[in-house]
Structure 1
């Protein structure tokens, strides 16, 4: 099985002059330049054993070189969302204790000297200067106030061009074991899906599990030289690099115009964003051969509009979760023809599925994450989705078992935030619910609460960014006389709450 690092380096060695990346601003980066930058980062970060790397860099060529270089050096990327509530960020750092921080200089500025300005504009950032004592820093961009003293700058690192391959894995000078090689069982990424300050839920993927996921993806969506894959997702961009294609990273301009200008053959979008795009631009470029939808269910209305916008392209909906990337793929035609639920598709080759007595889907396979941070290894993972298998062995989604909200492709777990909100002055009880849009599938987030003496909605809104991750902040706050409950356990009746707060 090809490794995520050696795969990219092998492509770079065979075709160094081919375009590997198109940056958000349109600048091109060759495979040779990417290889040299990757190995330079690996040499700068090398350590004597496994080490954690806090990663806070927006998608771009620097982010790709830093991420791959850190993993090549034996590091484990700890993905940091800049929109995290400070308390949640601190809790995650206490459990991971990274030895390096890789971040943009702008984030140091906005989380340090300009923290007050950022907060007034609704941006609350954790302080990256000192997530814990002893961390070393490597930053991208120009030096700005707030960058820690002694931090290394990416553009100032001594170049280490070229680099041999050994045993299918890159040999990194001074790597784990001092001159040894990292293995495919090395923890490569920790991606947090939810969790409180006391119990963060970090998904740990190894180089082996990531490589298996990339193989599953490329078998479902073949890629090769000449293809241009337009996405900001690593799990889609890395297969492009391994296949010798070009990874095009979205900029801030018009999405459809960018696809046309770069000659994109493949593109990825969250359904709600595609819906908004097609409202403005009903046709997509003729170069597009494959349009991938993921991170949220794709409603029929979005699929129909996508087929009209790109009639010659394959419209595919990818079903996946952080713990197992991917699980199944279904075409727009098959999804629109299916009845009795949302067709997810047949499990991809090698993906094992089990449907429990209550209908919940469990998944296993070589692409399964090693486990959750601090927990025993996983043998299968509960998806929280209720499914059935149709006559053709395909998965059909019937609903969710979890109290989870999906907005703009982000999973929101209400139980993470509700206790802290309920503890605010003037708040009795609190419940966060989602109201789905039947056309886009996206959900409006509503905070329902009961008020006590001294309640002030403005003060509650002001306090929420310190308690909730940015994607979870509510669109509306609704006060109710009481929150409905059900059953002997007196659980919140979320369906009843949704009915009460519906517009």
Structure 2
């Protein structure tokens, strides 16, 4: 897919490739297809001139956009391994991650370097932190160089030879772990290509018509199919204007982005996709009601993207226990082991860094297959709540709490002080919805939960975490414990 993209960019160099939005939502061209190809050429030549060769590791701390995409293309062409560095992870975690991959070079834009240097106090307010630049090892600046930044990557006229890459490592993405043992997913070149091909078949982008989305798994297949890609505006209000003016054929937003856009009055066109975090039937239904021809939830992991997909109407029609995430996509193999969902396929990660290759990905999700072979999630294995010697899996019941007017709903366990746990439903109302009416609407779903009925129902904003802004269960449990401690058991209505 990346080879196809490289060829596609050169075949129509004058056409727009990456689009942005002004404050009024008007479209502006951030890079043409030809400019993107030239930038990738320049980066590849400069990296080769620095002595980097197939198999070497390059750390990447570049914001999503044309430069980040050009870096990816350059690394691919040279057979280099890119390690994604997230400034939001904190300096201690980043030190550990750098030590685990030992990059030959770190490519960072001015914003990432500002976090590590002259803008550290400002960055701290945004919860961004990098170690001092000298601790990152050799660093080169990608894009505009500001005072205090490392030397620019620059341009070189080096002619690149034909390189034999084989099926080496393509990218390293850190997912979790500790500062002593970072956990990193390693994708091979063939695995990365297979995942992007699956997305291309899923999206089926039409040439010349814009797509809106900010991830590489949207940018690469869409551009390869001849469609320009607009990066979504960060402000929900501007995003709503952007959608109105652009009328994209397809849109990919995370569930938090989608909720924020809907709350800002966004209208949609074409097909809308959402993933990286749970998407309820209610959220997908709201998206269709806002104009989308189809609204799809995508089940994906860092280890295998994408794995399954379900359209709004099928998700709404499902009346069984658990969260229907759809049929496995072509090439994805599924099995369960002791209730846990295992996935395999050409797009699956090759291995975890420091471990041997393993074809099966242990998702950490409890799941079963329905009569049609579709995947139904039952919650995270580690999210199980033990109450009165009964195992309760939140994922089985949370979908039923997403009644109209509910933005998010999670079930968490709160220590009861006697070794047991209390089960608490934390519900985040949509803006403008009355809590009393929501409590009445939730009465039926709560009764139907039987022995898993929560001990308490709290209305509060659900804390989010990570790049994809998933519900932070640990923070939600802490919030629930604090609220219950303040209110007292007798004062909390259920």
Q: How far did residue 144 of structure 1 move?
A: 2.2
Return the alpha-carbon distance in structure 1 between the equivalents of residues 414 and 58 of structure 2. 35
Return the alpha-carbon distance in structure 2 between the equivalents of residues 71 and 222 of structure 1. 23
Aligned to 2:194: 212
Sort the Cα spacing of 1:476 and 1:394 in 2 relative to 1 into closer, same or farther, 3 A.
closer
| Corresponding residue to 2:114 among 97, 100, 109 | 109
| Regions of 4+ moved over 3 Å | 433-438, 440-450, 468-481, 499-503
Return the alpha-carbon distance in structure 2 between the equivalents of residues 265 and 319 of structure 1. 21
Q: How far did residue 24 of structure 1 move?
A: 5.3
Q: What is the TM-score with the length of structure 2 in the denominator?
A: 0.75
Sort the Cα spacing of 1:48 and 1:215 in 2 relative to 1 into closer, same or farther, 3 A.
closer
Aligned to 2:324: 343
CA contact (8 A) 2:93 2:178 kept: yes
Instruction: Tell me the secondary structure at the aligned position of residue 325 of structure 1.
Output: strand
Sort the Cα spacing of 1:180 and 1:500 in 2 relative to 1 into closer, same or farther, 3 A.
farther
Return the alpha-carbon distance in structure 2 between the equivalents of residues 365 and 327 of structure 1. 9
Return the alpha-carbon distance in structure 2 between the equivalents of residues 105 and 404 of structure 1. 43
Q: Unaligned 5+ residue runs, structure 2? A: 23-27, 386-393, 418-464, 483-489
Return the alpha-carbon distance in structure 1 between the equivalents of residues 359 and 216 of structure 2. 25
Aligned to 1:294: 275
Q: How far did residue 122 of structure 1 move?
A: 4.7
Instruction: Tell me the secondary structure at the aligned position of residue 382 of structure 2.
Output: coil
Aligned to 2:68: 63
Q: What is the TM-score with the length of structure 1 in the denominator?
A: 0.74
Return the alpha-carbon distance in structure 2 between the equivalents of residues 501 and 188 of structure 1. 52
Return the alpha-carbon distance in structure 2 between the equivalents of residues 404 and 139 of structure 1. 44
Aligned to 1:415: none
CA contact (8 A) 1:478 1:501 kept: no
1:265-285 C-alpha deviation (Å, 9 max, x unpaired): 11112223322221220x514
Sort the Cα spacing of 1:71 and 1:502 in 2 relative to 1 into closer, same or farther, 3 A.
farther
| Corresponding residue to 2:290 among 290, 300, 309 | 309
Return the alpha-carbon distance in structure 2 between the equivalents of residues 214 and 110 of structure 1. 31
Sort the Cα spacing of 1:236 and 1:261 in 2 relative to 1 into closer, same or farther, 3 A.
same
Aligned to 2:458: none
Sort the Cα spacing of 1:143 and 1:247 in 2 relative to 1 into closer, same or farther, 3 A.
same
1:202-249 C-alpha deviation (Å, 9 max, x unpaired): 001122111111111222221131231111111111110111111111
Sort the Cα spacing of 1:48 and 1:123 in 2 relative to 1 into closer, same or farther, 3 A.
same
Sort the Cα spacing of 1:365 and 1:100 in 2 relative to 1 into closer, same or farther, 3 A.
same
1:41 matched to 2:43: yes
| Corresponding residue to 1:199 among 176, 181, 185 | 181
1:367-421 C-alpha deviation (Å, 9 max, x unpaired): 011110110002100111111111111111122213499xxxxxxxxxxxxxxxx
CA contact (8 A) 1:446 1:474 kept: no
Return the alpha-carbon distance in structure 1 between the equivalents of residues 224 and 122 of structure 2. 42
Sort the Cα spacing of 1:339 and 1:377 in 2 relative to 1 into closer, same or farther, 3 A.
same
Sort the Cα spacing of 1:263 and 1:308 in 2 relative to 1 into closer, same or farther, 3 A.
closer
1:149-189 C-alpha deviation (Å, 9 max, x unpaired): xx224xx42478xxxxxxxxxxx715xxxx52323x12111
In the alignment of these two chains, the number of paired residues is 412
- Pairing of 1:314-393 with structure 2 (within 5 A): 314-340=294-320, 341-356=322-337, 358-393=338-373
Aligned to 2:147: 144
Q: How far did residue 60 of structure 1 move?
A: 1.3
Return the alpha-carbon distance in structure 1 between the equivalents of residues 95 and 355 of structure 2. 20
Over aligned residues, Cα RMSD in angstroms?
3.3
CA contact (8 A) 1:354 1:361 kept: yes
Return the alpha-carbon distance in structure 2 between the equivalents of residues 500 and 189 of structure 1. 52
1:325-354 C-alpha deviation (Å, 9 max, x unpaired): 111111100000012122111111111111
- Pairing of 1:201-240 with structure 2 (within 5 A): 201-240=183-222
- Pairing of 1:116-131 with structure 2 (within 5 A): 116-119=121-124, 121-127=125-131, 129-131=133-135
Q: How far did residue 441 of structure 1 move?
A: 3.7
Aligned to 1:279: 263
Sort the Cα spacing of 1:478 and 1:271 in 2 relative to 1 into closer, same or farther, 3 A.
closer
Aligned to 1:245: 227
CA contact (8 A) 1:448 1:501 kept: no
- Pairing of 1:446-485 with structure 2 (within 5 A): 474=475
Q: How far did residue 42 of structure 1 move?
A: 0.8
Aligned to 1:20: 17
Return the alpha-carbon distance in structure 1 between the equivalents of residues 47 and 343 of structure 2. 35
CA contact (8 A) 1:272 1:441 kept: no
1:157 matched to 2:141: no
Deviates more, 1:224-233 or 1:318-327: 224-233
Q: How far did residue 79 of structure 1 move?
A: 0.8
Q: How far did residue 31 of structure 1 move?
A: 1.3
CA contact (8 A) 2:187 2:349 kept: yes
Higher helix share: 2
Deviates more, 1:254-263 or 1:363-372: 254-263
Aligned to 2:439: none
Instruction: Tell me the secondary structure at the aligned position of residue 64 of structure 2.
Output: coil
Instruction: Tell me the secondary structure at the aligned position of residue 383 of structure 1.
Output: strand
Aligned to 1:266: 250
Q: How far did residue 62 of structure 1 move?
A: 1.3
Q: Unaligned 5+ residue runs, structure 1? A: 161-171, 406-432, 451-467, 482-498
